[in-house]
């Protein structure tokens, strides 16, 4: 791939991911202004049209705002779909680990990461999602046989939704278990 290919793929991905997130060009520009970039709706429009080159720092900020990575956004479409899923999967795993450490704020982050993974599923329906479901089932302490039965009964996309529902129940349970201890700590501090 040439540098022009990377630039073209990045511009296309900005538009696609923004639309998948139901963000207007103005809303994306606003998010980027919040992190210090002097962006306006017209700037986003020119980037998506390939009329304005993107600086490396801008690319990282744009990718983060869209829940992706520069690598995923500049790759070829097939590679890009896989990279988006890997990036989203990494976010879900990172936030799931944070959830155990702190329940406040992490729940919302986990939901955002889960939404990004769901969007990545729709962008590129790839086998990597099976890896996510299998590791989630194992992480939750269920047997490999349960996973096999689960996959036999449901299609991969149905299993994906069921997996998220199970993870959501697990995360809520973790929050509920930690809340009494947190309240006691708050009372002791006062």
Can you tell me the distance from the alpha carbon of 152 to that of 166, in angstroms, rounded to the nearest whole number?
A: 17
Q: Which two tokens stand for residue 33?
A: 């202004």
Which CATH class, in words, describes the domain spanning 3-74? mainly alpha
Domain boundaries, the chain: 3-74, 77-189
Tens of pLDDT, residue by residue, the chain (190 residues)? 677 888 888 998 899 888 888 889 999 999 999 999 999 999 999 999 999 999 999 999 999 998 888 888 887 755 556 666 766 776 666 666 665 555 556 566 666 777 777 666 655 554 455 666 666 666 666 666 665 655 555 455 555 565 666 666 666 666 677 666 666 666 776 6
Can you tell me the distance from the alpha carbon of 88 to that of 115, in angstroms, rounded to the nearest whole number?
A: 9
| 124 sits in which H/E element | none
Protein fold of 77-189: 1.20.120
């Amino acid at each position: 791939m040439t540098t022009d290919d990377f630039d073209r793929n990045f511009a296309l991905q900005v538009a696609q991911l923004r639309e998948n997130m139901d963000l207007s060009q103005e809303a994306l520009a606003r998010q980027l202004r919040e992190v210090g970039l002097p962006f306006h709706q017209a700037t986003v429009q020119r980037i998506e049209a390939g009329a304005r080159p993107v600086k490396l720092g801008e690319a990282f900020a744009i990718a983060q705002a869209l829940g992706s990575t520069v690598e995923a956004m500049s790759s070829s479409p097939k590679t890009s779909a896989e990279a988006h899923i890997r990036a989203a999967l990494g976010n879900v795993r990172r936030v799931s680990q944070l959830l155990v450490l702190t329940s406040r704020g992490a729940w919302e982050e986990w939901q955002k990461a889960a939404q990004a993974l769901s969007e990545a599923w729709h962008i590129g329906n790839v086998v990597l999602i099976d890896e996510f479901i299998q590791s989630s089932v194992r992480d939750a302490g269920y047997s490999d046989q349960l996973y096999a039965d689960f996959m036999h009964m449901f299609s991969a996309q149905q299993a994906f939704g069921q997996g998220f529902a199970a993870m959501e129940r697990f995360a809520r349970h973790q929050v509920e278990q930690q809340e009494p201890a947190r309240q006691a700590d708050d009372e002791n501090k006062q």
